[in-house]
Amino acid sequence: MRIVLVHPAGSNWVPGKKDITATANRMAPLGLLSIAAFLENQGHKVFVHDCLGPKAPFGTKANAKIILDYKPDLAGFSATTSGFLDGYDLASEIKKTRPEITTVFGGVHISAMGAVLLKDFKNIDFLCQGEGEITLTEIANGNDAGSINGLIYRDADQIITNPPRSNIKDMDELPFPAYEKLHGFPEGYNLPLFSYIQSPGGTMITSRGCIYHCSYCDRSVFKQGFRFNSPEYVYEHIQYLRTRFGIRHINIYDDLFTTNRRRITKLCDLLISKPLGIQFNCAVRVGYADDELLKMLKTAGFLQVSLGIETGDTDLIKIHKPGADLDEIRDTVRRIQAVGLRAKGLFMMGLPGDTVESIQRTSDFAISLGLDDMNMSKFTPFYGAPVWSTIFNDGTFDNDWRKMNCLNFVFVPKGIDSKETLDQLYNEYVKRFYTHPAWRKRFKKRIWQHRKSLWHMLKHIPTFIAAKRTFEPK
């Protein structure tokens, strides 16, 4: 079967502003690439079309034409909440020209919402809940719809939801993602600015799932638990990226990379004994970053470690990130930097329960940590997250899927008087962090290391000037 897997562009920025997200950081759609590799191993002909890719055109009709030019029998769409409607517009345009093409939607939005989507979106033939590799392969193989676990479909006037798909137990059975199917990879898929020294960069995921229940996190696809590739598999994956594509820096986007300490120890041993000339970034959690482990990461070539912090308010962190506290975070950041790793803090603004005062405390906390970098996302409630059950009681919510991308405030907690106030606070505190004398001093010491990021910015200077104006306080 001929299959096109599509990564919709979605709405990835602020309405009315030029989208700069791909200019600052364009990430390979790893889930789709994993499914593509799996399907090809089963004998199917697969194409990948990334609507956010460096060579993709703008607009529904232009992207639909590219998909149709592949002459597919099946088009599969992986959709976030903000990307779902864009994906549906593409599917509808495709169906106008060739209604016989089978359209399948999967991803976090589909896994969270389920069968209700088939009621309102008639140009979708199948919904795939959970992991997609085996489910999509069984569709492509022509299996009877009723026998495919994880599938939602129409049978006459009825919508049928099959039993859930079991998670893949042995992740080493999965082939490496089909990076080669991305036009412009790796040069066109740039890592976040100032997060790397060497280039080109690549991304990978070495585990699925998480053992925690943070209020804002949607686990609809991979569920609770933790499954992972073996250290030998991960090393071979890294080696493949290095030899096949010349990758020099890898961002590892696992939710909790260091959960299994034995795995990380073995992986670090491999990277130290057989170095590949690559640097890495990863994320850790408080309680999974002891001194010995951090030293191993540094020796193995890791450059930066991100730490989910979310809030600097003592009461709110207990609600939204159970198992972490501010003193432990302080200590973890200190120890990360003590071994020579960079520490990046990940925060959210506008959480349920946030007030002007708690947001001030978060800003003060971020400054006090002496971080090397930080990311402040705008809290977005997603359908599969624990917080969804109470979100309509905790504030006002603009349930506009296109805006639900962590780049717009769609939720305003009761303790804040308006979205405009949140926007003002966001602009003020992001600017405060990056203009703080201590951070600027640290950055200046590394400015030569970041010459490739600076050159990237210079090449796209009009776009970044426009973005700066968006974040300037009024």
| 381 vs 71: CA distance, rounded Å | 38
The pLDDT tens digits of the residues spanning 89-114 come to: 999 999 999 999 999 999 999 999 99
Report residue 218's pLDDT band, with 50, 70 and 90 as the boundaries: confident
Helices (H), 279-416: 291-300, 314-320, 326-338, 356-368
The pLDDT tens digits of the residues spanning 150-161 come to: 999 999 889 999
pLDDT at residue 143, as a whole number: 96
For residue 341, report the phi and psi dihedrals to the nearest 5 degrees. -90, 155
Average pLDDT, integer, range 13-25 = 69
pLDDT tops 60 at residue 474: no
pLDDT tops 90 at residue 366: yes
pLDDT tops 90 at residue 467: no
pLDDT tops 70 at residue 416: yes
Domains in the chain and their CATH numbers?
2-161 (3.40.50.280), 191-470 (3.80.30.20)
Residue for token pair 């585990």: 207
pLDDT tops 90 at residue 186: yes
CB 395 within 8 A of CB 417: no
Average pLDDT, integer, range 219-231 = 82
pLDDT at residue 225, as a whole number: 77
pLDDT at residue 12, as a whole number: 66
**Residue 376: strand pairing partners:** 347
pLDDT at residue 473, as a whole number: 46
Average pLDDT, integer, range 211-215 = 81
The pLDDT tens digits of the residues spanning 36-64 come to: 999 999 999 999 999 999 988 888 999 99
Could you tell me what percent of the chain has a pLDDT over 90? 80
Average pLDDT, integer, range 274-286 = 95
Could you tell me what percent of the chain has a pLDDT over 70? 96
pLDDT averaged over every residue in the chain? 92
The pLDDT tens digits of the residues spanning 296-330 come to: 999 999 999 999 999 999 999 999 988 889 999 99
Helix H or strand E segment including 23: helix 21-24
With a threshold of 0.95, does the pTM exceed it? Answer: no
Which residues neighbour 277 within 8 Å (Cβ) at sequence distance 6 or greater? 242, 248
The pLDDT tens digits of the residues spanning 126-146 come to: 999 999 999 999 999 999 999
Backbone conformation region of residue 10, classed left if phi is above 0, alpha if psi is from -120 to 50, else beta: left
pLDDT tops 80 at residue 377: yes
